[in-house]
Amino acid sequence: MRSRLPLALLAAAAALIPGAAAAGGIGLSASPVRLRLTGSSGAEITLRNPGARTLAVDVTRAGFARSIHGRALVRPARRLGWLRVRPRSLRLAPGAAARLRVTAAAGGLSPGDHPALVLVATRPLGARRVRVRLRVGVVVMLHVPGRIVRRLELKSLEVRRRGRRRLLDLRLVNRGNVTEEVGAARLRLALVRRGRVLARLRPRRLELLPHSAGIAEFSYRGRLRGAVVARAELRPQRIRRSYRIRI
């Protein structure tokens, strides 16, 4: 029985973003894996049981955040009175599907984006020897109309070595009230020496929730070594900052 617990934890952690999980001969999927609601509105989530066992399903709410490196984090369900999910429990026969109704009440909330999670935990009915519990998370982003603030800031830059690669970690802070998507089209980094651009780098995609910080990671595989100036530019605001680093 105890040997099954790590498997359950791995399945739960892996399922939060893909919207599907499988372990111990049971499975569950949710679609869509992300909902965006505007104002007081609603939408549906479809659950499917692709396995061969009937599942008992428990539905709960949770807070949603991201680590500094972008990993999805489950937070306590605080200040989530605006989010309602029905039903809160159900059964899914093998191959069957069911729908969850998600509604948001925006009254009293400040303008901007408000993130949350709908968590679906499952277990096979009557499986006395199997203690695997799967958990799937669907991200719910509620956008409340009103005064929107967009304010991204470029902070520190650090260099890490990983084999022959150099990883440049640029810390950003979102002081606005809406989610910001930062990728190659918005953020660029140039390595400069004596006024000459020697390399142009693009980051991995990064999602910054309101009032949060994150690391934009750049990878450099070239032969450049020693002291250089790294020039970061954030578009379309055209925010620029230079850093003296060693590659």
User: In terms of residue numbers, what domain contains 179?
Assistant: 152-246
Give the whole-number percent of the chain exceeding pLDDT 70: 88
Dist. CA 74–CA 67, nearest whole Å:
10
Residues 110-143: pLDDT tens digits? 999 999 999 999 876 665 555 667 899 999 999 9
Bridge partners, residue 135, by sequence: 121
For the chain, what is the domain count?
Answer: 2
Residues 137-179: pLDDT tens digits? 999 999 999 999 999 999 999 999 988 899 999 999 999 999 9
Q: Looking at residue 12, what is its pLDDT?
A: 41
Q: What is the mean pLDDT of residues 79-102?
A: 96
Q: In terms of domains, do 207 and 94 share one?
A: no
Q: Looking at residue 26, what is its pLDDT?
A: 81
Task: For residue 32, say if its preceding peptide bond is cis, omega within 30 degrees of 0.
Answer: yes
Residue at token pair 């105890």: 2
Q: Considering 117, 144, 171, which residue would you say is the last residue of a domain? A: 144
- pLDDT tier at 17, thresholds 50, 70, 90: very low
Residues 33-52: pLDDT tens digits? 999 999 999 999 999 999 88
Q: In terms of domains, do 122 and 224 share one?
A: no
The answer on pLDDT for 99 being more than 60 is yes
Q: Considering 85, 110, 144, which residue would you say is the last residue of a domain? A: 144
What is the CATH classification number for the domain harbouring 193? 2.60.40.10
Give the whole-number percent of the chain exceeding pLDDT 90: 79
Q: Looking at residue 98, what is its pLDDT?
A: 97
Our CA angle for 69, 150, 243, nearest 5°, is 55
Name the amino acid, one letter, at 12: A
Dist. CA 215–CA 187, nearest whole Å:
12
Secondary structure, 3-state, the chain: CCCHHHHHHHHHHHHCCCCEEEECCEEEEEECCEEEEECCEEEEEEEECCCCCCEEEEEEEEEEEECCCCCEEEECCCCCCCEEEECCEEEECCCCEEEEEEEECCCCCCCEEEEEEEEEEEEECCCCCCCCCEEEEEEEEEEECCCCCCCEEEEEEEEEEECCEEEEEEEEEECCCCCEEECCCCEEEEEEECCEEEEEECECCEEECCCEEEEEEEEECCCCCCEEEEEEEECCCCEEEEEEEEC
Q: In terms of domains, do 49 and 128 share one?
A: yes
Which pair of structure tokens corresponds to residue 114? 């408000």
Q: Looking at residue 5, what is its pLDDT?
A: 32
Q: In terms of domains, do 50 and 115 share one?
A: yes
Average pLDDT, the chain: 89
Q: In terms of domains, do 239 and 160 share one?
A: yes
Dist. CA 49–CA 234, nearest whole Å:
44
Q: Looking at residue 21, what is its pLDDT?
A: 77
Dist. CA 160–CA 245, nearest whole Å:
11
